[in-house]
């Protein structure tokens, strides 16, 4: 049973979702899906513990040996990402009932839960699999279900936002598919570790044969896959789908997707760069580090400034998400231990912070019926706990010490200095001041303005929503002071990734 945990992680939510639809019960859906998400969380924690104790785990589906069969690879990085994805998936779903009761018609509730579970399956699958085509399949599972989830939004703009996301997302996924095809054509395998190994062999032979080290196929494949994933990661300037999708989706969905979906795409990107192509190829042959640095920094500034001018808290946070992705990519593109650690840990920290903040916004949406800044005026008086949660989460987003945001910012800063990227270090710090502006704008509205009509009538959010919100918000503080299981794990993951690059041996290739 213990050995089968990796597959259970995927199978349970994957089968629960159609079960919910087949049952069609509006009352059973919630308990079943809660049981599923929490057991998934339990499994991923168990996997993480096993990885910490015994090192990476490889799991061969159906007993077919790698590289012919599909393998699941659970190493530091994947178990870490799965842990926080399933944790947020579980906690957001626990928080969900009051909010979706208000925002989604009751008759559609079981469909919502089914889509939610599918989306979670897809995200976890992308993390766990060691097979490149499998990544595509899971990517599409999570994307399709998230399009459906977004379209459940209350306003009539939700379907259009979902459709835009669908078009962008499909183009991105198809680009990714083209890249996979080219790689397969070149190496004849789909196992990621195997592709990486064969690519390095091909390179060595090409050098011997007096050719350029990298074939054109490889370059094209890499380009397609990077652009495809960049769309899913919402890297500036490919982020245009994100603000509307986040803004018009139901609050719960926004919380879940914002906390997890883009992070998992970043994870896939890390795998792509460090597991398949080498950083040497990506950052030295291809000028991807410079490109990422430029786009990240422009993205950070443009998106932060855009966030300042939003009139709707959800859009404000959405733009902030675009900016924060930039920080992750900055770290990843430094390709040293500190930078990679910073990028990975920021995935985790930002998932907590942004998940928590969107949960706060969900509380406001529930009580105020709106997330417009004008309607939030003075809500600090009638909803003090919710407002306080915003302040703490906001401090995390700014990166004040004792919050999780500081940890990632500090690591990123030291990594940038180690890399001698002075301008990056300075710009990064300056850009985080923009976060002060957009977070504090809301804080001032909450506490210093005359209450709006809606805020006057509002009362504190129900405990069922406040408690999960505060768990996540408290986690941002806890992981700002105690980082053994955030930065510590991220560092181990980074070391493992860089070790692959150096030795050319990937875990899971020969489990």
Cβ of residue 48: shortest distance to another protein, in angstroms?
Answer: 19
Using CB under 8 A, pick the residue from 22, 160, 294, 463 that binds another protein: 160
Cβ of residue 206: shortest distance to another protein, in angstroms?
Answer: 8
Nearer to another protein, 362 or 399 (CB): 399
Nearest to 346 by CA among 263, 442, 429, 252: 263
Using CB under 8 A, pick the residue from 411, 446, 455, 465 that binds another protein: 411
300 makes contact with another protein (CB under 8 A): no
Write b or e for each residue in 357-396: b if 16 or more Cβ atoms lie within 10 A of its Cβ, otherwise e: bbbbbbbbbbbbeebbbebbbbbbbbbeebbbbbbbbbbb
The secondary structure of 146-201, three-state, reads HHHHHHCCCCCHHHHHHHHHHHHHHHHHHHHHHHHHHHHHHHCCCEHHHHHHHHHH
Could you give the residue ranges of the DSSP H alpha helices within 369-452?
373-376, 379-382, 384-398, 404-418, 422-448
Handedness of CA 86, 89, 92, 94 (dihedral sign): negative
504 makes contact with another protein (CB under 8 A): no
Nearer to another protein, 91 or 425 (CB): 425
163 makes contact with another protein (CB under 8 A): yes
Cβ of residue 316: shortest distance to another protein, in angstroms?
Answer: 17
| Entry field: residues in the chain | 511
Q: Which tokens sit at 339?
A: 């930078």
Cβ of residue 94: shortest distance to another protein, in angstroms?
Answer: 27
Using CB under 8 A, pick the residue from 38, 184, 301, 485 that binds another protein: 184
Cβ of residue 497: shortest distance to another protein, in angstroms?
Answer: 17
Nearer to another protein, 190 or 458 (CB): 190
Euclidean distance between CA atoms 368 and 362, whole angstroms: 10
Residues 68-127 that bind another protein (CB under 8 A): 68
- For residues 152 and 113, the answer to whether their CB atoms sit within 8 Å is no
430 makes contact with another protein (CB under 8 A): yes
20 makes contact with another protein (CB under 8 A): no
Nearer to another protein, 369 or 488 (CB): 488
Segment lying near another protein (by CB under 8 A), choices 36-44, 106-114, 266-274, 393-401: 393-401
Using CB under 8 A, pick the residue from 5, 273, 398, 475 that binds another protein: 398
Q: Please work out the total of residues on this chain that contact another protein, with binding judged by CB under 8 A.
A: 71
Cβ of residue 125: shortest distance to another protein, in angstroms?
Answer: 13
Beta bridge partners of 58: 73
187 makes contact with another protein (CB under 8 A): yes
Using CB under 8 A, pick the residue from 399, 405, 468, 507 that binds another protein: 399
511 makes contact with another protein (CB under 8 A): no
Find the angle CA(332)-CA(336)-CA(341) to the nearest 5 degrees: 60
Residues 210-249 that bind another protein (CB under 8 A): 215-217
Instruction: Determine if residue 460 is left, alpha or beta; phi over 0 gives left, psi from -120 to 50 gives alpha, anything else beta.
Output: beta
198 makes contact with another protein (CB under 8 A): yes
Tokens 């509205």 appear where?
Answer: 445
Cβ of residue 423: shortest distance to another protein, in angstroms?
Answer: 12
């Amino acid at each position: 049973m213990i050995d089968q945990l990796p597959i259970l992680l995927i199978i349970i939510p994957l089968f629960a979702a159609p079960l919910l639809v087949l049952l069609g019960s509006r009352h059973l859906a919630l308990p079943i899906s809660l049981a599923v998400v929490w057991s998934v969380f339990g499994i991923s924690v168990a996997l993480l513990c096993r990885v910490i104790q015994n090192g990476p785990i490889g799991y061969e589906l159906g007993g077919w040996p790698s590289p012919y069969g599909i393998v699941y690879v659970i190493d530091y990085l994947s178990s870490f990402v799965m842990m926080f994805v399933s944790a947020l998936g579980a906690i957001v779903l626990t928080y969900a009932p009051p909010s979706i009761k208000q925002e989604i018609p009751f008759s559609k509730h079981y469909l919502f839960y089914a889509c939610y579970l599918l989306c979670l399956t897809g995200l976890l699958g992308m993390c766990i699999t060691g097979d490149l085509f499998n990544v595509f399949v899971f990517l599409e599972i999570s994307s399709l279900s998230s399009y459906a989830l977004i379209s459940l939004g209350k306003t009539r703009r939700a379907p259009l936002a979902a459709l835009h996301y669908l078009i962008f997302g499909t183009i991105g996924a198809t680009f990714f598919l083209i890249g996979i095809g080219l790689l397969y054509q070149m190496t004849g395998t789909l196992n990621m570790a195997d592709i990486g190994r064969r690519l390095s062999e091909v390179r060595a032979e090409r050098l011997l044969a007096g050719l350029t080290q990298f074939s054109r196929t490889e370059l094209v494949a890499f380009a397609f896959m990077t652009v495809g994933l960049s769309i899913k990661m919402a890297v500036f300037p490919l982020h245009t789908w994100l603000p509307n999708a986040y803004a018009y989706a139901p609050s719960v969905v926004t919380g879940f997707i914002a906390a997890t979906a883009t992070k998992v795409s970043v994870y896939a990107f890390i795998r792509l760069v460090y597991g398949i192509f080498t950083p040497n190829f990506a950052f030295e042959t291809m000028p991807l580090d410079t490109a990422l640095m430029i786009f990240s920094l422009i993205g950070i500034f443009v998106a932060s400034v855009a966030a300042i001018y939003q009139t709707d808290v959800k859009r404000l946070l959405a733009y902030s998400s675009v900016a924060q992705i930039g920080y992750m990519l900055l770290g990843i593109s430094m390709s040293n231990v500190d930078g990679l650690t910073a990028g990975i840990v920021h995935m985790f920290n930002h998932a907590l912070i942004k998940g928590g903040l969107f949960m706060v916004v969900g509380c406001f949406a529930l009580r105020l019926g709106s997330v417009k800044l004008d309607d939030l005026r003075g809500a600090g008086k009638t909803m003090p706990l919710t407002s306080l949660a915003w302040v703490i989460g906001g401090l995390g987003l700014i990166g004040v010490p004792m919050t999780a945001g500081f940890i990632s910012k500090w690591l990123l800063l030291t990594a940038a200095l180690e890399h001698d990227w002075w301008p990056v270090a300075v710009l990064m710090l300056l850009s985080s001041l923009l976060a002060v502006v957009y977070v504090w704008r809301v804080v001032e509205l909450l506490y210093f303005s005359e209450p709006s009509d809606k805020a006057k009538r509002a009362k504190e959010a129900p405990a069922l929503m406040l408690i999960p919100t505060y768990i996540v918000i408290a986690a941002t503080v806890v992981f700002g002071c105690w980082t053994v299981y955030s930065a510590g794990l991220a560092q181990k993951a980074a070391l493992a990734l860089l070790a692959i690059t150096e030795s050319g041996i990937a875990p899971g290739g020969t489990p």
